[in-house]
Amino acid sequence: METRLVIVDDDALVRAGLRLMLDGAEGIRVVGEAADGGDVPQVLDAHPADVVLMDLRMPGVDGIEATRRVRARPSPPAVVVLTTFDTDTEVVGALRAGAAGYLLKDMPPARIAAAVRAAAGGEPVLAPDIARRLMDTVAAGGGEARAARQALDRLTGRERDVAVEIGRGSSNAEIGRRLYLSVPTVKAHVSSVLVKLGVENRTQVALLVQQAGAA
């Protein structure tokens, strides 16, 4: 299955490099580009996509606000942030805006391509250093931890088990093996977890699980 990709970055050389690197990579086709977050809706109207690879710091609409706008669209594509910036505020802000992942531009091309394919399949994607820092950040959350635990209390026992596995970064197949469930059953539980927690994607589930200290 082909993954349609839109690249968003204010640097024309970066966009050209990403297109050269990713267009034609296994299962990926670059269908559009944007130089600013404010241009993304028009690009998606003209070129429907499965994944948006999003820079953060742009002169007009930044990547966090652009991610929020993309995720508010009907049947939105997944958004994966690709940036040189990794402050705690930006990481958490992007994930709360609905990003399915957060990568740094110094990652190997093959890892970026794999992350695009994973995001298209609904899997969360975080650079290893980002994942460790995110866990440290949410561990200090205080009131946020209480709110996260209260949110998880809305789940059934099996849904909570699935949510915890998502928080550990497990794929649907891995969750099925560990909990002795079929993949379709896992997908049904994931959908129910998203609705009950009021979140948009698995990465936000993982964020809540980490905040609650449940992983």
Q: pLDDT (tens digit, 9 = 90+) per residue, 49-72?
A: 999 999 999 989 999 999 999 999
Would the pLDDT of 138 be above 90? no
pLDDT confidence of 91, banded at 50, 70, 90? confident
Domains and CATH numbers, the chain: 3-136 (3.40.50.2300), 141-212 (1.10.10.10)
pLDDT at 143: 56
> 3-state SS string over 103-156?
EECCCCHHHHHHHHHHHHCCCCEECHHHHHHHHHHHHCCCHHHHHHHHHHCCCC
The structure's pTM equals 0.72
Q: pLDDT (tens digit, 9 = 90+) per residue, 186-202?
A: 999 999 999 999 888 88
Average pLDDT, integer, range 22-34? 93
**In whole angstroms, how far apart are CA 150 and each of 159, 197, 208, 209?**
14, 10, 10, 11
Would the pLDDT of 131 be above 80? no
pLDDT confidence of 9, banded at 50, 70, 90? very high
Which of 187, 159, 161 minimizes the C-alpha distance to 172?
187
**First-last CA distance in the chain:** 32
Most confident range (mean pLDDT) of 82-91, 120-129, 138-147, 166-175 is: 166-175
Q: Higher-confidence residue: 99 or 135?
A: 99
Ordered strands of the 101-104 beta sheet:
28-34, 3-8, 51-54, 78-83, 101-104, 125-126
